[in-house]
Structures are given as structure tokens and as C-alpha cells.
Structure 1
Amino acid sequence: MNTFVRTFTATLEHIDELGHVNNAVWVQWIQDIAVAHWQAAADPVHVSAYFWVVVRHEIDYRGNIGVGEQALGRTWVPGTPRGARFNRHIVFADARGKDIVTAISTWAMIDRASGRPARVTPNIVAAFAE
């Protein structure tokens, strides 16, 4: 499978009253890395024709980072889609390489022209396989 990697740096606005990255920021970073992966891997024709919306997030928090610290995000799309949906896996690791946030997100592909869900075809999935 095609794994996409991006580094995220915690800034002061990401930090909550506990002194670490707020849970809502992790959700935003999940969306950011997923969208960046789609834009980097997908055929530009598909990027123009479709966009993705989140249907579900399942997130496990096992650690955190503070201001100025970095998390390495990795994402990939295993398996096969189910109609308009597929699951995306996301893992964030701290500077020591320890996985601190893991997630499985379900996304649905939407046709830009109709605004309706569209079946994820094999040629779209091919961009995410190695």
C-alpha cells in the first residue's frame, strides 16, 4: 500500500490547558494528512471530479506532544472500498518514534458535479496501492 508521511509541529495555538496538543487539533491533523495524501497520490482528473467527507473517526490517544514538538504522521488506505466509502489508517509518532495517536477514519467520496456519493472504482483505488 502507498503510505503518505507528513510532519506536524505543535504551536502555541494547538496547546490546551493541559499543556499539550488539544484533541480537536489531532482531528484537524487527521483531516489535513488525509486530504494531502489524496491530492498527492490521486490522478488530477479524480481530484477535480471528487472530494471526500468524513463519515466516522475512531481515535486512540496514547500520548501527546507539547509546544515546539513534532509528530510524524503516516497514513495509508488498506483493503478495498465499500461502495463510496473506504477506511483510512493514520498514526502519529513522537520524536522517539512512539505511536502516540492512532486512528481509523471512514471517508465517503462525493461527486463534485452532483454532490452525491460516488462509488470508489478500481482505477481510483490504484493510486493508493503500491
Structure 2
Amino acid sequence: MTDWQWQMPDPFTMDIHVSAESVDRLGHANNVIYLQWMEEISWQHIDSVGLTWTLQEDLGKAMAIVHTEIDYKAAAFAGDELVLGTWLVEFDGRLHSRRRFQLVRPRDGRTLIEAESRHVCIDTATHRPSRIPEPMADLLKRASHDQ
């Protein structure tokens, strides 16, 4: 195993096995699958800090992605074992949050993607931006690695 380093300390991580179904015509993981992995780890992460979907439903508020940027550094291939890390890196306490991602292939120490998403709190009934309720805000503040 090659040494590699996270871009920030203490990531929330998810192990990934790249299946043959995840590979596209070019022979590497399809771009869409990276977004699916990022969504999956985001839900796992917020669940782990107590910001469950049940709580969001009860409050009638949720964090919705408004922007995603991905820098592809190297390709993933069928059979690869990967680790995806994520961090909440910014929370303004009212409406917006930001999350970073780093996908690593431990076998060779390569970072395959670096990504970032921005979120806004919405009212789940109207789908319009809405101030984050205090119970959600408290959980996001505790989970955030503000830069």
C-alpha cells in the first residue's frame, strides 16, 4: 500500500468497490457514478451527525445542492478499491453550507477526484430557500470544519 494523505484532517469516509457496471465505454468509472458516490457519502455523513432525513422531514427543511464542481485527477477502473472522504467545510448559520470531497485509490496513493458542493436550506413544501431551523443549525455547526 502506498502512502497518501487527506487534504484535510478527520474525513468522514466510505469504502467503494468499483463494479463492472460502473464502467463506461472508455473503460473507466462513468462520471455519473462519482456523483452517486458523493450523494451517498453526504447522506451517510449527515445521518452520522444526527441530521437524519426523519428530522429534516419533521422540520420541513432540507439542504439542497445548488452547485457541484469536480476536478478529475485520474481514472477509476473496474475492480478498484477506493476510499471517498468528505468534510463540511463551511456553514453560515443561516442558509448556506459547503462540502468538500476527495476520492483516493489507496493501492497507489492517487487522488482520483477533488470536488466541492454548495448547498442551501429549502422549505420542503415550497422548495424555496428558507432559514435553517435551530436543531439543524446546531448539528451542522458541530459537524463543520470551517476554514
Q: TM-score range by the shorter chain?
A: 0.7 to 0.9
TM-score by length of 1: 0.84
Aligned match of 1:75 = 86
Q: Which has the larger radius of gyration?
A: 2
Alpha-carbon distance in structure 1 between the residues aligned to 2:125 and 2:45: 22
Residue identity in the other structure for 1:34: S
**TM-score of the pair, normalised by structure 2:** 0.75
Is this contact kept in 2: 1:57–1:104, CA < 8 A?
yes
Number of aligned residue pairs: 130
1:127 partnered with 2:142: yes
**Is the contact made by 2:49 and 2:139 (CA closer than 8 Å) also made in structure 1?**
no
Matched to 1:94, the amino acid is R
Q: Which runs of structure 2 are paired with 1:97-116 in the superposition (5 Å)?
A: 97-112=109-124, 115-116=127-128
Change (3 A) 1:20 1:129: same
- 2:76 maps to 1:65: yes
Unaligned runs of 5+ in 1: none
Gaps of 5+ in 2: 1-8
Displacement, 1:7?
0.9
How many percent identity over aligned positions?
A: 23
1:93–1:99: 8 Å Cα contact kept in structure 2? yes
Q: Is the 8 A contact 1:77 1:88 kept in 2?
A: yes
Segment drifting more, 65-74 vs 110-119: 110-119
Alignment match, 1:16: 24
